[in-house]
Amino acid sequence: MRNSCIRGLLTLSAATVLAWPALAASQDESLDSLDSSMLLDEEALLFQNIPSVYGASKYEQKVTEAPSSVSIVTADEIRKYGYRTLNDVLESLRGFIVTDDRNYSYVSARGFGQPGDYNTRLLLLLDGRRLNDNIFDAAFTGRIFPVDVDLIDRVEVIRGPSSSLYGANAFFGVINVITKRGRDLQGPEVAAAYGHLDTKEGRVSYGDRFQNGIELLMSGTYFDTEGNKRLYFREFDDPATNNGVAENLDGEQAESLFTKLTYADFTLEGAYVSRDKDIPTASYETVFNDPRNRTVDEQLHLNLRYEHSFANQIDVVGDLFYQRADYDGDYPYDYSEDDEPYIVVYKDYAYGRWWGGELQFTVNALEGHRIVFGTEVQRNERQDQGNYDDQEVYLDDQQDSTDWGVYLQDEFKLRDDLILNAGVRHDDHEDFDSTTNPRFALIYNPTVITTIKLLYGTAFRAPNVYELYFHDNEITAKAAQNLEPETIETWELILEQSIGQHWRAVAGVFRYEVDDLITLTTDPADDLLVFDNTDSVEAHGVELELEGKRPSGWAGRLSYTYQDTEDQVTGATLPNSPKHLAKGNLIAPLIGERLFAGLELQYTDTRKNVRGTHIDDFTIANLTLHAPGLWKGLDLSAGLYNVFDKKYSDPGSEEHTQEGIEQDGISYRVKAYYAF
């Protein structure tokens, strides 16, 4: 079954590529046969349908001119596909997978998804402002993401290294979440949802633009689920550990607030989220089936932005920000030295506080050039982490640091059909040598419907304070020794082709090399967890995608990704790195504009876990029915997730006893939106 599925996907992908020249040629011939006025009309129509992206260059540009491979998911797609979190959005895109260890979720791109790395190699932005914290470098995309998906205007995914603009963490890509404005709501709005596992969610929002020029959006969301009441883990199948069944240990609660206030050239934005999660997996060798296993995360983001354009010649953007991230974990251990249990709750914490600013100029005054330059500074006022129990303090580490960077990029139009985009950034980290990272893109448009991109870039990630200093007095983990920053070098070749007025295809090949990879390992000398710079990694892959949208409401996307990642010393494939990914998305209008169906199919190939054993491949399907404007501002939706109840698992990490962690089977959600 699996092999036939892959063969079918490869055949479809090959047919798309083989048909491409004929499609392009037929369009060129038809364009050549048009008179000049008709050709201009065709160009205008094509360009009008090309979406724009902000995060690729820190200004709005067409995706065909961006120095990267870009995907965009809109608010309309989020609602019609029934996406519940940012994870759902990302998992629908080519080359991306999301794994879940039933505590945190992890996003991987282009075959790289080290289990348990907290998404440190992806830069997460909220309206252009960095969200990765200053303890773990974590980019949370599940319920810890501070903005309800209903408030997202669009999600921009910029693949490849972007340290030339953003500095650290822009390793495999940048995820920029653009939020809605007050005018998009035009008054109060409420939403309520109920789903499988007694899952409840509610949102209250208000947004508007007033005559005095003030624009306001305010929103609060509450989420609660009991989770699976009985989860079976065969590794704990023993009468002493409840026969491997974790009971009532999968619950999750979250609350979030979001505010966006705009007046003239100023925007004040605030986001807050708090999330409490039970842990059923007994990670880090804790007591199995103990209800005290839990983590609590809390984040606050405040940003004041100034934007002004001077005679359309110089655009100025300035940011001042303050951010906070707190984590507390409770982990019960059995300290008994005999048959009588002696349970002690081990406490783990991390508290981060940081602030800073960025000043950026975009110069449009020079003919043929669009120049961006700026500087950014971040003061890490507090980077505290520790752990203790009722007997001893094992770690009480307090750090602070200052990071800064300067960057320059020039989009140079060499000819009407040829653009050179070149950028570089220099970063200085207090505890490591400074680093300089370039990015080059040659973008060629042989016709108005064809774009060819040749891309090169490097990126870096310095070890974070968690990787550098964390230990628990050698109960389960010890501090790292002589960690160095990891680096990546990437080459890409991308072909983007419009097919008619409603279809667009993308084909790309990529290759990257990672040096001094920072990995959580188990030291065989003492069986303790420790971060280390492991050997270099090399990867290459192919990405194919066909997407379209018709005025009648039909829309869809079909993608296939082949990726091969291996350790350059051992030749072994990296953990959590499937060779084949295939995805299909379809929006179908069932009753005009009154009822839509959203269908998703996602195939993930076999993956290794950190112990070298394999996790089976799987295909899941999701189906959503969405009825907009059903009655005087009322929208309804109903979704089935994992429709065929496929049993599948995600790889565990070094801290797990489990080789694979089973994921949810079929589930449902019904949701109502009401705009007053």
In one letter, which amino acid is 313?
A: Q
8 Cβ contact partners less than 8 Å away, ≥ 6 residues apart: none
Q: How confident is the model at residue 430 (pLDDT cuts 50, 70, 90)?
A: confident
Question: 3-class SS at 311?
Answer: coil
Q: Residues near 268 by Cβ (< 8 Å), separated by ≥ 6?
A: 259, 260, 261, 262, 302, 303, 304, 305
Q: Kindly report, residue by residue over 353-405, the tens digit of the pLDDT.
A: 999 999 999 999 899 999 999 999 999 999 999 999 998 999 999 999 999 99
DSSP β-ladder status, 230-232 and 215-225: unpaired
pTM: 0.92
C-alpha distances (whole Å) from 481 to each of 81, 393, 471 are 46, 22, 12
Q: Are 115 and 101 in contact (CB under 8 A)?
A: yes
User: Where does the pLDDT of residue 29 fall: very low under 50, low under 70, confident under 90, or very high at 90 and above?
Assistant: very low
Q: Name which residue leads in pLDDT, 116 or 526.
A: 526
pLDDT at 358: 98
Burial track 165-181 (b if 16+ CB lie within 10 A, e otherwise): bbbbbbbbbbbbbbbbb
Q: Give the per-residue pLDDT at 491.
A: 98
Max CA-CA distance within the chain? 91
Return the pLDDT at 363: 96
More confident residue, 533 or 125: 125
User: Which residue(s) pair with 180 in the sheet?
Assistant: none
The SS3 assignment for 333 reads strand
Phi, psi (5° rounding) for residue 286? -80, 175
Q: Per-residue pLDDT averaged across 288-305, rounded?
A: 98
pLDDT at 44: 44
In this prediction, residue 26 has a pLDDT band, given cuts at 50, 70 and 90, of very low
All structural domains of the chain with their residue ranges? 49-675
Tell me, what's the pLDDT at 469? 94
User: Any idea what DSSP says for residue 183?
Assistant: G
Per-residue pLDDT band at 470 (split at 50, 70, 90)? very high
- 3-class DSSP assignment, residue 482: coil
Q: Give yes or no for a contact between 335 and 344, defined as CB atoms under 8 angstroms apart.
A: yes
Q: What is the per-residue pLDDT for 3?
A: 44
pLDDT at 45: 43
Residue 16: the pLDDT is: 37
C-alpha span between 573 and 660 (Å, rounded): 17
What DSSP string describes 483-506? ---EEEEEEEEEEEEEETTTEEEE
pLDDT at 519: 86
pLDDT-derived band at 17 (thresholds 50, 70, 90) equals: very low
Q: Is pLDDT larger for residue 230 or for residue 476?
A: 230
Q: How far apart are CA 348 and CA 335, in angstroms?
A: 17
Regarding predicted confidence, which is higher, 312 or 547? 547
Rounded Cα distance between 515 and 534, Å, is 8
Residues whose CB is less than 8 angstroms from the CB of residue 250 and which lie 6 or more positions away in sequence, other chains included: 102, 197, 226, 227, 228, 229, 231, 278, 280
pLDDT at residue 640 greater than cutoff 90: yes
Q: Does the pLDDT at position 34 exceed 80?
A: no
Distance of CA 398 to the CA centre of its chain: 29
E strands of 166-225, at which residues?
173-179, 187-195, 199-209, 215-225
Q: What is the mean pLDDT of residues 35-58?
A: 62
Residue 411 neighbours by CB under 8 Å, 6+ apart: 57, 61, 65, 369, 370, 371, 419, 420, 421
Q: How high does pLDDT run on average in the chain?
A: 91
Distance CA 79, CA 158 (A): 22
> What pLDDT is stored for residue 35 in this prediction?
39
Q: Express each pLDDT in 204-237 by its tens digit.
A: 999 999 999 999 999 999 999 999 999 999 999 9
Token duo for residue 9: 């996907």
| Alpha-carbon span 489 to 484, nearest angstrom | 16
The whole-number pLDDT of residue 605 equals 97
547, 553, 554, 560 alpha-carbon torsion, rounded to 10°: 30
Contacts for 527 with CB less than 8 Å, ≥ 6 apart? none
Band (pLDDT 50/70/90 cuts) for residue 612 is confident
**CB-neighbour burial class of residue 234 (10 A; exposed 0-12, middle 13-18, buried 19+):** exposed
pLDDT category at 646 given cuts 50, 70, 90 is very high
**pLDDT (0 to 100) of residue 228:** 96
C-alpha separations of 588 from 47, 504, 596, 600 in Å = 25, 18, 6, 12
Say yes or no to pLDDT of 555 above 70: yes
Which SS3 state, helix, strand or coil, does residue 335 take? Answer: coil
In terms of DSSP bridges, do strands 649-651 and 96-100 run parallel, antiparallel, or are they unpaired?
unpaired
Query: Which strands, in side-by-side order, build the sheet including 122-126?
Result: 70-74, 152-159, 173-179, 122-126, 129-130
Q: Which secondary-structure segment (H or E) carries 89?
A: helix 86-91
Percent of the chain past pLDDT 70, that is, above it, reads 93
The CA-to-CA distance between both ends of the chain, in Å, stands at 50
pLDDT score of 252:
98
The CATH number fitting domain 49-675, selected from 3.40.50.2000, 3.40.50.300, 2.40.170.20, 3.20.20.140: 2.40.170.20
> What pLDDT, on the 0 to 100 scale, is given for residue 72?
97
Q: Provide the pLDDT confidence category of residue 19 given band limits of 50, 70 and 90.
A: very low
- Please tell me the predicted confidence (pLDDT) of residue 31: 37
pLDDT at 516: 93
